[in-house]
Amino acid sequence: METRPEIFIVAGDPSGDMIGSLLVAQLLRLRPDLRVTAIGGDQMARAGAEVRLNIVRDLAIIGLAEVVTKFPRLTRLFRRTVQELRERRPRTLVLIDYPGFNLRLARQARRLGLKVLYYVVPQVWAWHRGRVSRLRRDVDRALVILPFEEKFLRDAGVQAEYVGHPLLDIMILTMSRQEVFEKFKLDPEKRLIGLLPGSRRREVDAMLPIMLEAAQKIQAQDPRVQFVLPRAATIRGEQIDRHLAASSVEVKVVDSFRYNVRGAMDFALVTSGTATLETGLLLCPMVILYRVAYPTWLLAKLLVQVPYIGLINIVSGDMVAPELLQDQCTGGNVADRALRIMGDPDEMRRIRHQLERVKERLGGPGASRRAAQATLELAGLSPAAESLAS
């Protein structure tokens, strides 16, 4: 009896789960008979994948300290995943980011004779350049989401293809600024400043107190501001509420229409990560914040080979958004920098113009469909006839 063709996807953090969910949706649109199994999170499950283990909430890793504390669980997860691959023998294994885990998994999959596609490759152009040889050895095809990555990897002998950024597939605004302000009862006479502390629990605990201190100082100097926090779906409301209760500044927490809300923001305080690119694509000026445990920070200083840490700055090739890192990342410093930028209309216009150029560089939507087509091609599968007409 013929079995359904199967694709296996592994993503271990919230952004990877989101990108994976878009890929799952497109795979099933192109091949409704496909079976998609995954090690991932809720977003891929909602898109139609059979999630064998949900690891996104508890095993997303930030820094060296978390690798150490979660190492036994990661080891058990790795063995379980290899066993799944051995038993299931999928047509193709798709790895999304999560490099410490997924590069090891690529090696095991290669030994099992499986096809391996890496989507959202490790940032080898920034650090760990030794990983390039592992990509070349263990990965059949790499799909990259930043325009400069394709040449970098191809020059190193990796079969790489630029498919565009999947954020552009979902960042579609459906509400005007006025509609956002009316829906969430925001004051149209005041500037709206967003607080984006991250999508992982440890990030929020580290960054939100700094943002709230900065917000309090900003409001003390400029009462014509208000604050909004679009809560990441991976963060529980109680965690946010606990931090807000310890602060005197009023913050509107929103759990829906997050991109619409972010599109209405005048300025933002953003933890370094995917959110800097999201905020930049919405043409919102920002200050980028980053603070981690000191062992992780010292290691990063030794290994990182790019001048910026914020994705929006990396893609731009210029310091579009100021970065306040580690010891510089204090409430006072963040407030001073934000007030200086917001108080200079020419600077605000200049930043928005640079953000428009970054957005143009990334192109338009369609990355998820292109990634799905590449996945099917590697798996030796053709799209269903009816899907080609849609």
Q: Do the domain assignments include residue 169?
A: no
Tokens, residue 79: 């063995």
Q: Do the domain assignments include residue 48?
A: yes
CA distances to 85, 99, 315, 350, 387 from 90, in Å: 7, 21, 34, 49, 22
Phi and psi of 11, rounded to 5°? -140, 135
* The pLDDT of residue 326: 84
Q: Do the domain assignments include residue 54?
A: yes
- Indicate if 226 and 347 belong to the same structural domain: yes
Give the range of the structural domain holding residue 95, as residue numbers without chain letter: 6-164+366-388
- Indicate if 34 and 135 belong to the same structural domain: yes
- Indicate if 43 and 160 belong to the same structural domain: yes
- Indicate if 101 and 192 belong to the same structural domain: no
Alpha helices in 98-176 (DSSP H): 99-111, 131-138, 149-155, 167-170
- Indicate if 132 and 183 belong to the same structural domain: no
- Indicate if 345 and 371 belong to the same structural domain: no
d(CA 231, CA 262): 11
* The pLDDT of residue 273: 86
Contact yes or no for 303/343 (Cβ under 8 A): no
Tokens, residue 281: 């694509």
CATH of the domain at 113: 3.40.50.2000
- Indicate if 303 and 181 belong to the same structural domain: yes
* The pLDDT of residue 116: 98
* The pLDDT of residue 296: 63
- Indicate if 244 and 205 belong to the same structural domain: yes
No. of helices (H) and no. of strands (E), the chain: 20, 13
HSE value, Cβ hemisphere, 13 Å, CA-based, for 357? 12
* The pLDDT of residue 14: 84
* The pLDDT of residue 64: 44
CA distances to 102, 125, 156, 312, 361 from 152, in Å: 20, 7, 7, 19, 17
Q: Do the domain assignments include residue 296?
A: yes
* The pLDDT of residue 100: 86
The CA-based angle 168-11-64, given to 5 degrees, is 110
Contact yes or no for 304/338 (Cβ under 8 A): no
Task: Compute the chain's Rg from CA coordinates.
Answer: 21
Q: Do the domain assignments include residue 116?
A: yes
Q: Do the domain assignments include residue 172?
A: no
- Indicate if 15 and 154 belong to the same structural domain: yes
The number of folded domains in the chain is 2
* The pLDDT of residue 74: 82
Q: Do the domain assignments include residue 91?
A: yes
d(CA 286, CA 289): 10
Helix (H) or strand (E) holding 366: none
- Indicate if 189 and 142 belong to the same structural domain: no
Mean pLDDT for back-to-back runs of 10 residues, the chain (390 residues): 84 91 97 96 95 75 51 86 95 94 95 97 72 94 93 94 94 95 97 95 94 98 97 92 96 96 98 93 96 64 68 90 93 98 97 95 93 97 73
* The pLDDT of residue 191: 98
What is the reported pTM? 0.83
Q: Do the domain assignments include residue 155?
A: yes
d(CA 167, CA 39): 21
- Indicate if 370 and 253 belong to the same structural domain: no
- Indicate if 211 and 65 belong to the same structural domain: no
Spell out a b/e string for 129-158, using b for 16 or more CB atoms within 10 Å of the CB, else e: eebbebbeebbbbbbbbbeebbebbeeeeb
* The pLDDT of residue 355: 96
